[in-house]
């Protein structure tokens, strides 16, 4: 039986990458030891690290105006790092609230800096919606504008990028990085925990405009300091070496499979199959406004929630794993990142349809 893992994170990784990692687990680059067991400051690892950054720059078309950092602490580490690095004494940080993760980022930032939270959720009649980005009332003065293009829990994705005449735009791309084409120049800081579309948890990728490295910010730990990490090639202390190596293997895999444009087609196709089925069904529903439905995280609800437990038990038996929705929104959620094949979506839809026929 094929198993498809719909976990929101840590999420499934491309099986090809996992097999390659397995094959070189004990002997990396004919060194007779694992990549986990070598110095990060010796040539083999340094070469890998350089290639990894170059690959990510090619995949996302990142210019020399930006530094690319491989940091510790995942997404939430960056919830703290962003205010510490970008704080200004005379302007508040603006956090756009579109759901649970962006709200969490604001809560963390408030420990360190003045935060103005802007609620742009536009929920009506039980539907989740968001005010269009162009209509967000962004204040004139801000140390930076933080937002989350893909709300992993709510299943809400924003396809437009906010603009501001002076404040840097900071985006938490943890659950959508590399899933569709973006223009990096529209942003000033992009960060992502790795465990959704890149590799093992713990690693955070940070893409930061070099001019921002001059901001004094607040006193902060060296491991969360963008300028220090940029200067040290992300090796101020021992980096998460295995996660970095696996990220490189995922980037390699993406380059060999048509890069981000191919992933975008693949992801749009997968999401369309699943949303079309849900919309056509009288057994299931999705509460997100069609204008902001996530390509990566598809929450859905059974119209009769008394069947939830049975749905979860039978789907697991059918090899469809981790479909339980986040406890904050309930229902079900299928996370369908880059690594999820179309066959996984087809298996899910087939299962959902059979379940609906038996229980409807
Ligand atoms: C998963 C996730 C995070 C948190 O990542 P951690 O590595 O667990 O800290 C933050 N933001 C978004 C949008 C996420 O999906």
Ordered structural domains, the chain, with CATH: 16-256 (3.40.640.10), 259-359 (3.90.1150.10)
Q: How far is the CA of 147 from the centre of ligand 1 (A)?
A: 13
Does ligand 1 have an atom closer than 6 angstroms to the CB of 193? yes
240 Cβ closer than 6 Å to some ligand 1 atom: no
Q: What are the structure tokens assigned to 3, written together?
A: 């198993």
The tokens for 215 are 């901001």
- Residue 358, C-beta contacts closer than 8 angstroms, at least 6 positions apart: none
DSSP state of 262: H
Q: Is 125 one of the annotated binding-site residues?
A: no
CB-CB contact of 194 with 339 (8 Å): no
**Ligand 1 centroid – CA 44 distance (Å):** 30
The kind and range of the H/E element at 204 are strand 203-209
Ligand 1 site, residue 175, Cβ cutoff 6 A? yes
112 in helix, strand or coil?
coil
Of residues 208, 172, 213, the one with CA closest to residue 193: 172
Q: Is the CB of 199 under 6 A from ligand 1?
A: no
- Position of tokens 């105006």? 65
Write the DSSP assignment of 229-251 as a string of letters. HHHTTT-SS---HHHHHHHHHHH
Ligand 1 pocket check for 241: Cβ under 6 Å:
no
Within 160-307, residue ranges assigned H as helices are: 226-231, 241-256, 259-280
Q: What pLDDT score does 126 carry?
A: 86
pLDDT at 360: 85
How far, in Å, CA of 239 to CA of 246, rounded? 13
CA nearest neighbour of 336 among 75, 7, 1, 101 = 7
Active site residues: 101, 172, 196
Distance 180 CA to ligand 1 centre (A): 18
Per the rule left: phi > 0, alpha: psi between -120 and 50, beta: everything else, 113 is beta
The backbone torsions φ and ψ at residue 37, rounded to the nearest 5 degrees and listed phi first, read -110, 15
What is the distance between the alpha carbons of residues 231 and 234, in angstroms, rounded to a whole number? 8
3-state helix, strand, coil in the chain (%, to 5): 40, 20, 40
| Distance in angstroms (rounded) separating the CA atoms of residues 286 and 136 | 25
- How would you write the pLDDT of the chain (360 residues) with one tens digit per residue? 899 999 999 999 999 999 999 999 999 999 999 999 999 999 999 999 999 999 999 999 999 999 999 999 999 999 999 999 999 999 999 999 999 999 999 999 999 999 999 999 999 988 999 999 999 999 999 999 999 999 999 999 999 999 999 999 999 999 999 999 999 999 999 999 999 999 999 999 999 999 999 999 999 999 999 999 999 999 999 999 999 999 999 999 999 999 999 999 999 999 999 999 999 999 999 999 999 999 999 999 999 999 999 999 999 999 999 999 999 999 999 999 999 999 999 999 999 999 999 998
Calpha distance 174→151 (Å, rounded): 9
Q: Are 158 and 180 in contact (CB under 8 A)?
A: no
Q: What pLDDT, on the 0 to 100 scale, is given for residue 58? A: 98
Please give the Cα distance from 72 to 75 (Å, whole number): 9
Provide Rg for the chain, Cα atoms. 21
In which residue are the tokens 């962003």 written? Answer: 82
What's the pLDDT at 1?
Answer: 81
Residues of the chain with pLDDT > 70: what percent? 100
Residue 341 is predicted with a pLDDT of 98
Tokens of 29: 């680059």
Query: Would the annotation count 211 as a binding residue?
Result: no
> What atom of ligand 1 comes closest to residue 202's alpha carbon?
7
Residue 237 marked as a ligand binder: yes
pLDDT score recorded for residue 354: 98
**Coil, strand or helix at 203:** strand
Q: Is 107 annotated to bind ligand?
A: no
pTM, full prediction: 0.98
CA separation for the pair 78, 205 (Å, rounded): 9
8, 76, 109: residue to mutate for ligand 1 pocket, most atoms within 8 A of CB? 76
End-to-end CA distance of the chain: 26
Task: Decide if 38 contacts 28 (C-beta within 8 A).
Answer: yes
Q: Is the CB of 148 under 6 A from ligand 1?
A: yes
Query: Which of the listed residues 152, 194, 322 should we mutate to test ligand 1's pocket, taking the one with most ligand atoms within 8 A of CB?
Result: 152
- DSSP-based three-state secondary structure for 66: strand
- Answer yes or no: is the C-beta of 149 below 6 A from any ligand 1 atom: no
Q: Give yes or no for a contact between 144 and 120, defined as CB atoms under 8 angstroms apart.
A: no
* Ligand 1 atom with minimal separation from the 194 CA: 7
- Give the closest residue (by CA) to ligand 1 atom 10: 75
Question: Residue 203 corresponds to which tokens in the numbers above?
Answer: 């690693």
**Which residue in 267, 318, 327, 266 sits closest to 299, CA to CA?**
327
Separation of alpha carbons 324 and 342, rounded Å = 20
């Amino acid at each position: 039986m094929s198993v498809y893992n719909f976990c929101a994170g840590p999420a499934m990784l491309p099986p090809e990458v996992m097999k390659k990692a397995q094959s070189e687990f004990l002997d990396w680059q004919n060194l007779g030891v694992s990549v986990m067991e070598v110095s990060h400051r010796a040539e083999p690892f340094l070469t890998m690290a350089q290639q990894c950054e170059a690959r990510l720059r090619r995949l996302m078309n990142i210019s020399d105006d930006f530094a690319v950092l491989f940091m510790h602490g995942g997404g939430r580490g960056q919830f703290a790092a962003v205010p510490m690095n970008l704080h200004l004494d005379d302007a508040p940080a603006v956090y756009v609230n579109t759901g649970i993760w962006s709200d969490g980022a604001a809560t963390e930032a408030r420990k360190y800096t003045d935060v103005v939270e802007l609620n742009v959720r536009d929920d009506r009649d039980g539907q989740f919606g968001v005010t269009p980005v162009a209509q967000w009332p962004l204040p004139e003065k801000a140390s930076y504008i933080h937002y989350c293009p893909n709300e992993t829990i709510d299943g809400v994705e924003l396809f437009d990028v906010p603009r501001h005449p002076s404040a840097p735009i900071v985006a938490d791309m943890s659950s959508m990085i590399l899933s569709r084409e973006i223009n990096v120049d529209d942003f000033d800081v992009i960060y992502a925990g790795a465990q959704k579309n890149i590799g093992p948890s713990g690693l955070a990728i940070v893409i930061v405009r070099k001019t921002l490295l001059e901001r004094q910010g607040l006193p902060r730990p060296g491991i969360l300091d963008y300028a220090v990490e940029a200067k040290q090639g992300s090796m101020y202390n021992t980096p998460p070496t295995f996660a970095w190596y696996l990220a490189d293997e995922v980037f390699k895999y993406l380059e060999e499979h048509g890069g981000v444009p191919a992933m975008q087609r693949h992801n749009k196709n997968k999401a369309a199959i699943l949303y079309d089925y849900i919309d056509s069904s009288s057994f299931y529903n999705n509460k997100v406004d069609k204008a902001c439905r996530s390509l990566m995280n598809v929450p859905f609800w059974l119209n009769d929630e008394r069947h939830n437990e049975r749905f979860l038990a039978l789907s697991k038996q059918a090899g469809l794993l981790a479909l339980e929705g986040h406890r904050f929104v309930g229902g079900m959620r299928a996370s369908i990142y880059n690594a999820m094949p179309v066959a996984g979506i087809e298996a899910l839809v087939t299962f959902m349809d059979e379940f609906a026929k038996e229980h409807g």
